[in-house]
Amino acid sequence: MTEDRKSGRAGGTAIAVALVFAIALVFVVIAHSATQKKPKLNVRTGAAAVVAQPELASYLRRSGWNRTVALPLDERLTRVSFLRGRVVLLDAAVAPDGEVPYLQFYRSGYIRAGSQTAQSPLILAGLCLLFALMTITLPLRRIGNLDVLALVVLALTIHVLNLRLFEPSLLLSTPALLYLIMRCAYVGFHPARIPAPALFRASEPGGAEAPVRPIFTALTGRLAPARRDRLLALVLVGLSLMTAMLVVPGGSTGDVGLATMSGATALTEGKSPYRHVTEDVVHGDTYPFFMYLLYAPVAAVNPVHDAFDNLDGALWPAVLALALAGLAIFKAAGRAGGRTVALRQTLAWLAFAPVLVAASAGSNDLAAAALVAWAVAWATHAGRSSLMLAAAAWAKVIPVLALPLWLLRFRSDGAAARRAVITVGVLSVSVLVVMLAYGGPPVVGDMLQAISFQASRGSLLSTWTLLKVPALQAVFLAAVLTLAMFAAWRTWRDRSLAVDHRRICALAAAAILGMQLAANYWSYAYLPWVYPLIAAALLWPVACDEQQTEPQAI
């Protein structure tokens, strides 16, 4: 009878999931038809408009151009990309009348964004090696080491992109992202203490599973624990100083930092950032209002109106956010495994190459990363952690997918649940009130329209552009939405899941990574603001499971 009930519940759950997926798919198809745009110009017409300009024609001829791709940029402009085989040479935004208002050259020695020193092959290799040293565990035949490998592969896309190999970079990033999504979903939906697949289990002679040991501990086995911690602390201090110098003054602000500072400057002058961001960046006003608010204090001191202004102001918030996120990771990892684990995992954060490169470009992704990291660090506090995750959603949109399950885990504690919901509500209302003060309801519409650009633009840095199967993107996006809703429902129903912070972080990471991959554009700069969730789910020890605490109200 019990087996029949379990079978019936499983069947009912499967039907419910299928129904939710079907509804999500219909919603995605309708939204896609409303937002998706076709190129105004075909490949031949767009290329002809660019080649008609003598200087561009000369550059393309010298570069050996032999391939062109045309993608919609917005409702008016078409992105025309010129390639030599798989190497990107030039991006041009072409208007229907043949005007070319925006150009992006990809010359030899190209660096996508940020510090050139930080992206030298030697520095990138050293960072990847240090990251692996801090995160790999023995025996090597463990599935956890595949998690590390996936993150290293994502970090290596930095170098591949700098080689101007945009499409090949997707052949690295897409499988790694898919693996991490499935791995996080698996960890989230299953109890922590489940056996790993036999292929990834190493056994001792007696048949027992071999104990897990960090590779750094094995390599420094002759050192006393106190001396090992001192060594880690010294390396952490040294890497922190190197990072600070590579970001400020060694950084170089990219288009994201320029756009954010320009929008924040508009705020300080009493204008909405939407429609008032510098024209040096195509559609630079695509971020939620809260992101510009975060940068407003810096813009008040260092205003930015165009690309000729001093852009270093974007580097200071980036390095500050990087440090705050590292402090949060130190706190959270220390709670999970003690001081040594805290030191190793903080080093891993600093050594994760996308973090350093994004920070050295003045990217606002580090601000979102700090908010997510403190949501993880304060996971046991309903109000504080929910506030941080809600702020991340107001800064980058996509973290909103993790917010329902984050709130529902407090449902068994009425006071904590109320505190979480009220905190999120107060933040949201406050941001809306400030928005309305800058021009009333039209500002809200302007923000939504600006953000929708991300859902309609075409880009070579998209798995779906590479696959050329739009229906597959719709199916994948519907699956991601279904995953987020099912995760929230399971958190509501399963008490053991609701109090397990590792599994909650895993499900949040799966939803956010899924939406990143489902979008029309992916960048390694997105990884810093999901990394704290991935680390808590996959890289930190599960020692805290037996000491799991009840959620607190504040």
- Residues 249-308: tens digit of each pLDDT: 888 999 999 999 999 999 999 999 998 899 888 888 889 999 999 999 999 999 999 988
Q: Give domain status of residue 444, yes or no.
A: yes
If you average pLDDT over residues 428-457, what whole number do you get?
90
Q: Considering only residues 23 and 14, tell me which one the structure prediction assigns the higher pLDDT.
A: 23
Per the prediction, the chain carries an average pLDDT of 90
Report the percent of the chain where pLDDT is more than 90.
Answer: 75
Residue after which a domain boundary falls, among 83, 105, 127 = 105
| Cα 423 from Cα 143, distance rounded (Å) | 38
Q: Which residue type, as a one-letter code, is found at position 166?
A: F
Q: Is the pLDDT of residue 14 over 90?
A: no
Q: Is the pLDDT of residue 6 over 80?
A: no
Question: Is the same domain home to 378 and 510?
Answer: yes
Domain that holds residue 98: 43-105
| Cα 337 from Cα 140, distance rounded (Å) | 20
Q: Considering only residues 145 and 208, tell me which one the structure prediction assigns the higher pLDDT.
A: 145
Question: Is the same domain home to 211 and 81?
Answer: no
Q: Which residue type, as a one-letter code, is found at position 249?
A: P
Question: pLDDT-derived band of residue 150, with 50, 70 and 90 as boundaries?
Answer: very high
Nearest CA among 409, 417, 429, 424 for reference residue 508: 409
Give the single-character DSSP code of 207.
Answer: S
| Cα 312 from Cα 325, distance rounded (Å) | 21
Question: Is the same domain home to 385 and 495?
Answer: yes
180-236 per-position pLDDT tens digit: 999 999 999 987 555 555 545 555 555 455 678 899 999 998 899 999 999 999 999
pLDDT value of residue 76: 86
If you average pLDDT over residues 460-470, what whole number do you get?
90
pLDDT value of residue 323: 97
Question: pLDDT-derived band of residue 544, with 50, 70 and 90 as boundaries?
Answer: very low
Question: Is the same domain home to 90 and 144?
Answer: no
Q: Is the pLDDT of residue 106 over 90?
A: yes
Strand segments, DSSP code E, in 388-473 are none
pLDDT value of residue 225: 92
Question: Is the same domain home to 159 and 208?
Answer: yes
Pairing type for strands 137-138 and 213-214 reads antiparallel
Residues 6+ apart with CB under 8 A from 502: 187, 192, 536, 537, 540, 542, 544, 545
If you average pLDDT over residues 59-70, what whole number do you get?
93
Question: Is the same domain home to 538 and 393?
Answer: yes
Q: Residues 486, 20: contact at Cβ < 8 Å?
A: yes
Give the single-character DSSP code of 535.
Answer: I
514-528 per-position pLDDT tens digit: 999 999 899 999 999
pTM here is 0.92
Residue after which a domain boundary falls, among 105, 133, 159 = 105
| Cα 348 from Cα 106, distance rounded (Å) | 31
If you average pLDDT over residues 58-73, what whole number do you get?
92
Helix spans in 38-142 (H) = 43-51, 54-63, 121-135
Q: Is the pLDDT of residue 553 over 90?
A: no
Q: Give domain status of residue 311, yes or no.
A: no
Q: Residues 131, 78: contact at Cβ < 8 Å?
A: no
Q: Is the pLDDT of residue 437 over 60?
A: yes
Residues 6+ apart with CB under 8 A from 434: 289, 293
Task: Provide the number of structural domains found in the chain.
Answer: 2
CA distances from 473 to 448, 466, 518, 523 (A): 22, 11, 6, 17
Report the SS3 class of residue 200.
helix
